[in-house]
Structure 1
Amino acid sequence: MTTVRLDALDRKIIAELQINSRLTIQELASKIGLSASPCARRVRILEETGVIKGYAAIIDQTKVGLPISVFASVKLERQREEELDRFAQAVARWPEVVDCYLMTGQRDYLMRIVVQDLEAYERFLKEKLTRLDGVASIESSFALGQVKRSSALPIGAALSAEPTGRST
């Protein structure tokens, strides 16, 4: 995977869009100190290079009737490529799974599953997860509360100020 070099203006654009992706180009340009045309060009390049993958609304899961977050650790019987691919393809079809990571350590996958109640999680387990061939074990942990949730990446802290070679 190629890392895209971001300069200070790119990072400012990303930081502002992570706060409010509904900003107009004019509003964004004003916040970062550019005129609209170069700002729009930079946003387009960030989109085309895949740095900006898309735009989405952040929904309060409790207010839409999905208050339960379950973290499930899954161990497969074998960790061969075919089994890993089969598991990933199945998980991609399940809307209840909002996050899924291939892990190192004792377990192969860590998933966050969002459901309306305990009965819905039980149905998910019985009708989907436990029916998947190759699953050796599942450990479920229920979130009691959410201390922090963010979709914003720490762009300023993580990336160096290397120039992109673009003119503004």
Structure 2
Amino acid sequence: MSNSYIDKGFSVEIDETDRALLRLLQTQARMSITELAEQVNLSATPCARRIKRLEDTGIITGYHTQTDAQKLGYPLAVFIAISMDRHTAERFEIFESKIQSFDEVVSCSIVTGRTEDYLIKVRVRDMAHYEEFLLHRLNRIEGVAQVHTSFELREVFSRNVV
């Protein structure tokens, strides 16, 4: 099956071999070109060319180390929906700049279909850590009007798009 990836006016064909490479790299980004090529039934040079093309077109945006938050001492995952007091570009810029400076925040999205404007995911050590984060940092960002907290009981799965 072949799909097109469209970005900024150009299209890139993605076939099953590209998808297989992406799946392998998402789970084992440290595999050598030779190992990847063997897994997808290519020789090393065409495999390297495909990976370079996926990088050059922006489909592959980087290589990252995945960590276990629990083993690092951050077992509590919190989803926080945030409403802003005013919907202005300046308010949103201030919030987005400040929220990126907090190490506990692992993701932040502007959302629709809710009364809240942002949905963030936070990792903390315990309830005391969450309370400190909420009262002394998050609620002090200029423009934050309301927060609604949900605690993650268990992550069923998490994956990237292939």
Question: Shorter-normalised TM-score: what interval?
Answer: 0.7 to 0.9
- Give the CA deviation at 1:96: 0.5
Q: SS of the residue aligned with 1:138?
A: strand
List per-residue Cα deviations over 1:27-86 (Å, max 9, x = no partner). 101111111011111111211222111112221111111001111000001121111111
Matched pairs, number: 153
User: What RMSD, in angstroms, separates the aligned Cα atoms of the two structures?
Assistant: 1.5
> What residue is the counterpart of 2:137 in the other structure?
128
- Give the CA deviation at 1:98: 0.1
TM-score, normalised via structure 2 length = 0.88
> What residue is the counterpart of 1:65 in the other structure?
73
Q: SS of the residue aligned with 1:21?
A: coil
Unmatched runs of 5 consecutive residues or more in structure 2: 1-5
For the residues of structure 1 that align with 2:38 and 2:125, how far apart are their CA atoms?
42
For the residues of structure 2 that align with 1:48 and 1:38, how far apart are their CA atoms?
15
Runs (4+) off by over 6 Å: none
For the residues of structure 2 that align with 1:103 and 1:49, how far apart are their CA atoms?
27
Q: Given residue 110 of structure 1, which amino acid in structure 2 is its aligned partner?
A: L
> What residue is the counterpart of 1:28 in the other structure?
36
TM-score, normalised via structure 1 length = 0.85
Q: 1:80 to 1:12 in 2, by over 3 A?
A: same
Unmatched runs of 5 consecutive residues or more in structure 1: 156-168
For the residues of structure 1 that align with 2:12 and 2:96, how far apart are their CA atoms?
27
> What residue is the counterpart of 1:56 in the other structure?
64
Point out which structure has higher relative CO (alpha carbons under 8 A, 6+ apart): 1
For the residues of structure 1 that align with 2:124 and 2:92, how far apart are their CA atoms?
24
> What residue is the counterpart of 1:107 in the other structure?
116
How many percent of aligned residue pairs carry the same amino acid?
39
- Give the CA deviation at 1:21: 1.1
